[in-house]
A and B are shown apart, each in its own frame.
Chain A
Amino acid sequence: MIPAPAFLTNPERFMAFSRWAAPMFGAIAVVLALAGLWLGWSAPPDYQQGATVRIMFIHVPAAIICEVIYAFLAGASLLALVFRHMLADCAAQAAAPLGAGFTLLALVTGSLWGRPMWGTWWVWDARLTSVLILFLLYIAYLALRASLDDEAKAARSAAILAMVGVVVLPIIHFSVYWWNSLHQGSSMFTKGALAPVYAYPLFTMLLAYLSAFGSLWLVRIRGEVWRRRAEAAALRMARA
């Protein structure tokens, strides 16, 4: 087994690491977002999409990152379930609301792009439907955690749901190849598919979204660690 770095397994070290890492990632995200927006809004209108290409600079990063977050959620859930590691469970719990937020952004901005380009706000297309299922998985995860009073049982049930739900990730990715889809195939990581004038702002915004997620994830994990410390302290006081 690959040994995990101490700052990811030891709560004290994690708190010391995240104390400076969270604002650092936040600052990087702001700088990258400003650069990405400047590049994106300076790019010429696309010959087919016209000015709506500007929606791509916020839609595509959200669509990619909502899948990345789910992979983190499922990975952290697996570690929490197998090793009963407190930080892994905090990481899973902290990732879910952020994943739901980014998935919502992918769906809404995609819909706002689809109306002028496809002539419709929504189609029950394989890609769109599978991303909607991903959003519902995030909501189900959050609802499951909130619905059970026994936190250990809630964490276990939600972790199993998260791991079962990981099957949606390859479906989202390959849906445009497996079925006839209105949604275009992957162009971001296909060499030569994107003109540099669009590729640079897109990659810059993707890095900005990743940094923003990194910062917010660390902040939320810290909040979870404090919540558990507070509840443990309250329990100690009640027993005393």
Chain B
Amino acid sequence: MPDFDLGKYAGFIWPAYAITATVFAVMIGASLHHARRWRARAETLSAPASNDGATRK
């Protein structure tokens, strides 16, 4: 079973995990935002040319 009693080292271990979670959240958020933003822009700009029913990839 997980043991969350970190004793005198809690002040180092919890921040390490919190910073890791934060950096992962930023990387995930930024990557998804970047992809969604440019996908929407690409689809908007190419809409007149691709009204022939081309599938999205």
Residue numbers of A with Cβ under 8 A of B are 12, 15-16, 19, 37-38, 41-42, 44, 50-52, 54-55, 58-59, 62, 97-98, 101, 104-105, 108-109, 112-113, 115-116, 212, 216, 219-220, 222-224, 226-227, 229-230, 233-234, 237
Contact = CB atoms under 8 A, between A and B. Distances in A.
Most chain B Cβ neighbours within 10 Å, of A62, A229, A233: A233
Contacts of B24: 212
Given A116-B12, A230-B46, 20 more contacts: A42-B1, A42-B2, A50-B9, A51-B7, A51-B10, A51-B13, A52-B13, A58-B17, A58-B20, A101-B27, A112-B12, A116-B8, A219-B32, A220-B34, A220-B35, A223-B38, A223-B39, A226-B38, A226-B42, A233-B46
Contacts of B13: 51-52, 54-55, 112
Main SS of the interface on chain A? helix
B16 A112 contact: yes
A98 B27 contact: yes
A38 B19 CA distance: 19
A95 B30 CA distance: 13
A74 to B, nearest CB: 20
Nearest to B49: A233
Contacts of A112: 12-13, 15-16, 19
Interface in B1-57: 1-10, 12-13, 15-17, 19-20, 23-24, 26-28, 30-32, 34-39, 41-42, 45-46, 49, 57
Nearest to A44: B3
Given A42-B2, A52-B13, A101-B26, A230 B20 contact: no
Given A216-B28, A223-B35, A50 B7 contact: yes
Contacts of B16: 55, 58-59, 108-109, 112-113
Given A58-B17, A112-B15, A212-B24, A226 B35 contact: yes
B27 A227 contact: no
Contacts of B20: 58, 62, 105, 109
